[in-house]
Amino acid sequence: MRRILHIDASYSSESSVSRILSQEFITAWKMFHPEDAIVYRDLGHFPVPYINEAWITAVHSPPESHTPETIEALRESNILLEEFLAVDCYVFGVPMYGFTIPARLKAYLEHLIRVGCTYEVSKNGVRGLVHGKKALFITSRGGNYPPGSPFGEDHQEPYLRTIFSSFGITDIQFVNASNLVLGDREQSISTAQATLQTLAAHW
């Protein structure tokens, strides 16, 4: 049995394409893998706290020096970290906001950037500590943003690949529903749906 962490990051509800697609994938996944467990977190509607000075102090100091303030600063953060490390696969529904990811998703990811837990630093550089896991990012975008696009640059996929690779997670796949505003919206959604149905059986 595998454990899947399913996260939605859109601030919208029923109108969110990324939510619709991620839920359709999970529904199909359950049909093919009924024994697997799904853990769900809705960052768009239930945001995690932003890290602050107390959090930074806590993660860079020994536990015996922690104060009630630093202990509290890590309380929810530790829950997020333990949840992240306890699963086998990640499924993210991520809209593109301002050419990148939603602020609430970035706030979540900052809780996971924990030296000694998700990565380590040595004279040879940064090495990820989270191995044997894979991630699927299901994104929605108003346009299409190849290099040199007149409509802007994609800072969403490169950032997510970089941060997850720094954790040691390199089995990463993207299914992008692009051109939802600047192109054929229905065709883009249909193509993403077909890709996700195939992935649900074989990912």
- The angle at the Cα of 61, spanning 57 to 67, to the nearest 5 degrees, equals 65
In the prediction, which pLDDT does 39 show?
A: 98
Segments of the chain with pLDDT less than 70: none
In the prediction, which pLDDT does 82 show?
A: 98
In the prediction, which pLDDT does 146 show?
A: 77
In the prediction, which pLDDT does 10 show?
A: 98
Residue type, 87: V
In the prediction, which pLDDT does 182 show?
A: 86
In the prediction, which pLDDT does 48 show?
A: 97
In CATH terms, 3-202 corresponds, of 3.40.50.360, 3.40.50.300, 3.40.190.10, 3.10.580.10, to 3.40.50.360
In the prediction, which pLDDT does 166 show?
A: 96
Q: Closest Cα to residue 199, out of 134, 102, 132?
A: 134
In the prediction, which pLDDT does 4 show?
A: 98
Q: Closest Cα to residue 89, out of 158, 36, 160, 157?
A: 36
Residue pair 112/167 in contact (Cβ under 8 Å)? The answer is: yes
Burial of 24 (0-12, 13-18, 19+ CB in 10 A): middle
